[in-house]
Every structure is written in structure tokens, then in C-alpha cells.
Amino acid sequence: MNALTRWDPFREMETFREAMDRMFDEPWRSRSGLWLQRSEGFPLALDVAEDDSDYIVKASMPGVDPDQVEITLTDNVLTIKGETKSEQDTEEKNYHVRERRFGSFMRSVTLPMPVDADKVEASHENGVLTLRLPKTEAVKPKRISVHKTISEQAGKNLSQK
């Protein structure tokens, strides 16, 4: 015989809350296969693109001194950390709008294929950090040529006569 369980709306809400907690505690996977992990502090806007030989990562970092940015690559996880300092005004100001963010930031991205960490290039121009991460030779696409056999070559020569 089946036992009936009384419906408890509080149990249902607790189950829903636990599912939401799990969703926000786990890193998110994008459609491209990159693992995007949550940021610390304020979010760092990233663009991650790829061509045949490199991953190209661009990060918007206006007002951030490039010497104060820490970039690490460990086990295919690229991490960018930094901090923006707030302006130290001695006099009080009545702000009408204050949207610029100050404080620390960190962003991690897991790349889908191995990269050559020794050949990574970083540049900073107009508040945009650009990283070029070369793929390892093992994962670059290779063109394979097909050689004709002797019998095919001989057949071609006979048909031309």
C-alpha cells in the first residue's frame, strides 16, 4: 500500500532555495565550452575569442594601472586579478550620480584546450587588456596531404599516352 505524504509548502520552498544556492555556487559553462567562474568584487567584462593558433582575451579595465594587474595561468585556468583605487577627496561632494566602481576584482576562465604558457603575450591600450594565448602544437589543426601510390601514378601516365 502507498503512503500518502501531506504537502508542506515550506519543504517545497526549502528545496527550491537549496537548488538556487547550488546553481549560484557552481561555475557557469558557456556555449563555447569555456568555464566562467564568478567574480570577486565587481565583475570584470571579458571577451574570449579563438582563431586557429590562439585564444584572444580582452578585458575592459579603465583606470587600472597595468602594473597592478596579476595574470596567472594554471592548469588551463586563466585568472586576472586587480584593484581600482578610489579617489581620496578631502572635501565633501554631493554626488548626483556615482556609478564608477572601486575595489578589487578577479575573473577566472577555464580554456577548453591547452595553451603554451611561455609564449603568452599581454598588452594594455586605452583601458583594454589584451592577452594572446597560443595553443600548444598538439591541438593546432594540421593539414594532412595524401600521396598517390605508384599504381595510381602509372595508370595516370598510361591514360595520357
pLDDT, tens digit, 9 for 90 and up, residues 38-91: 545 567 889 999 998 899 999 988 888 888 899 999 988 999 998 887 766 646
Contact 127, 60 (CB under 8 A): yes
Nearest CA to 56 out of 137, 135, 133 is that of 133
**Domain locations in the chain?**
26-86+101-138
Q: What is the pTM of this model?
A: 0.59
- CA distances to 55, 109, 118 from 50, rounded to whole Å, are 4, 14, 18
Task: State the pLDDT at residue 7.
Answer: 78
Q: What's the pLDDT at 120?
A: 93
Q: Is the pLDDT of residue 95 over 70?
A: yes
Instruction: Supply the CATH classification number for the domain 26-86+101-138.
Output: 2.60.40.790
Give the number of other Cβ atoms within 10 Å of residue 80's Cβ. 22
> How far apart are alpha carbons 108 and 28 in whole angstroms?
11
d(CA 143, CA 22): 44
Q: 108 pLDDT exceeds 60?
A: yes
Q: What is the mean pLDDT of residues 100-114?
A: 84
Predicted pLDDT at 5? 72
